[in-house]
Amino acid sequence: MSLDVRPVTPSEIADWMKAVRTGFLTPLAEKPGEEVVADRFGDSDLSRMQGVFDEGRCVATFRSFAQQLTVVGGATVTADAVTGVTVSPTHRRRGLLSRMMATDLAAAKERGEVVASLIAAEYPIYGRYGFGPAAWAAEWEISVDRAGLDPRRSGQPTGGGRVEMVDGADVRKSGPEVHAALAARQPGVVDRGERWWRTRTGVAPRAEHEMWSEPFYVVHRAADGEADGLLVYGVDEKWSDAKQPLNTASVRDMIALNPAAERALWHYLCSVDWITTVRSGYRAPDDLLPLLLPDPRAARMVTHADWLWLRMLDVPRALEARTYAVEASLVLDVRDTAGLAGGRFLLDASDSGARCTPTTRSADLALDVAELSTLYLGDESVRRLVDLGRVEELRPGAATTADALFRTGRRPWCPDVF
Ligand SMILES: CC(=O)SCCNC(=O)CCNC(=O)[C@H](O)C(C)(C)COP(=O)(O)OP(=O)(O)OC[C@H]1O[C@@H](n2cnc3c(N)ncnc32)[C@H](O)[C@@H]1OP(=O)(O)O
């Protein structure tokens, strides 16, 4: 059987989309129509959309696109964002993913992209390609009755701010600006294009089977009237037999640019009549949420898992793009069996910025590119990786220096799935 691994042509995109849905166990009866295909992929770079064809049938899919990723300090790097990875159950474990990944990463390296990024469906898939989990996510379920909030005050922000219910059109106007302000300060954030805002506010063309339920949209405005927080949530319809409302609010999007807006939006949501349970959506594991409640035990962590995975493609540019908490130097021996990003590098971090250059000096730490990618956004401890045998400490004290350099006071957070 000869398998054709290649970029898709425009006329194959609908088949490719159908194959993605089969791979993700949500099959489609029909191929998506022209309008949906055009809206979804009309401006996509088809050279980055791979398919595997078996006698004309699409049996595997892989796509990447250019993404801006915020790193520590607020700068962005261009990431090769990988998505839509599927291999049909009839063609699994024959190396198709490995072939598509190798093609994509080589092209990304050639284009000069700094890292590759993805949200992994399952933990064991991507480490072998040099990816490491760089930002984790947590979700809480809040039992509103237990939270201890004063229902007379919790929907009313202090400090002159106010909470406003708005509609999808308002969110399409003010959301991108609030998100851009978040992206300028929050490591782990990825950019959202115009289409992102349209689909999340219900106005993108949709195939017939695709359901949309209108959420509630809320913004927080600071005392000067500027929007500094955004909350989008859906609510189910659940009543007890005794006619008591037992509704759950599930957060679809929640961005706050400062702790006052964050407090106001969570307190607002926990004060809506009928809502007895709030699902927070995926937040950074050190999110303020539980501690914003008088009784933090009212917030039960229901998910804590790896979320954003990164794979460095250019170590010097990646390490120079971020800032460091202290002034120090470190020599890193980076192994990369794929031959894309390995080498020995001297990282020199000072107040005026970081320099990272190839060196022949003896190394302080030796590690695989996947471990360096895991450390990149400050979410993992070097000491922990040394204890696990995944980083080699070649000079005593080097792990402590590396932790002082890489770690951050707050954890990175990627609010989006892509
Ligand atoms: C960014 C995203 O889109 S995440 C979504 C990923 N997609 C899914 O999870 C959908 C369901 N799964 C699939 O479609 C496929 O199983 C895939 C895409 C995960 C793997 O595709 P395959 O073509 O089977 O992978 P391939 O044959 O190249 O495997 C390479 C190696 O990875 C291993 N591997 C692949 N998938 C998995 C997995 N889910 N768990 C553990 N190991 C795996 C293989 O065993 C193989 O190991 P080996 O080299 O030691 O023999």
186 and 281 share one domain: yes
214 and 279 share one domain: yes
The contacts of residue 362 (CB under 8 Å, 6+ apart) are 331, 394, 395
Q: Is residue 399 part of a domain?
A: yes
Please indicate if the annotation marks 98 as binding a ligand: yes
What pLDDT is recorded for position 1? 62
Q: ipTM exceeding 0.90?
A: yes
256 and 207 share one domain: yes
62 and 152 share one domain: no
Rounded Cα gap, residues 346 and 355, in angstroms: 8
Please calculate the CA angle 95-101-106 and round it to the nearest 5 degrees: 130
Rounded Cα gap, residues 262 and 255, in angstroms: 8
By most ligand atoms within 8 Å of CB, the mutation choice from 22, 54, 97, 117 for ligand 1 is 97
What pLDDT is recorded for position 154? 63
Other beta carbons within 10 angstroms of residue 166's beta carbon come to: 16
Last residue of a domain, one of 253, 283, 304: 304
Q: Is residue 417 part of a domain?
A: no
The CATH number that applies at residue 153 is 3.40.630.30
273 and 386 share one domain: no
Residues noted as catalytic: 126, 418
Q: Is residue 166 part of a domain?
A: yes
Rounded Cα gap, residues 310 and 280, in angstroms: 25
240 and 162 share one domain: yes
Note the pLDDT tens digit of each residue in 272-288. Answer: 999 999 999 999 999 99
**Residue 390 · residue 112 · CB < 8 Å:** no
Please indicate if the annotation marks 94 as binding a ligand: yes
Note the pLDDT tens digit of each residue in 37-82. Answer: 999 999 899 999 999 999 999 999 999 999 999 999 999 999 999 9
7 and 76 share one domain: yes
Which residue has the least CA distance to atom 15 on ligand 1?
87
125 and 142 share one domain: no
Q: Is residue 279 part of a domain?
A: yes
Note the pLDDT tens digit of each residue in 99-133. Answer: 999 999 999 999 999 999 999 999 999 999 999 99
In the three-class reduction of DSSP (H, G, I as helix; E, B as strand; rest coil), residue 252 is classed as: strand
Domain that holds residue 180: 138-304
The number of domains in the chain is 3
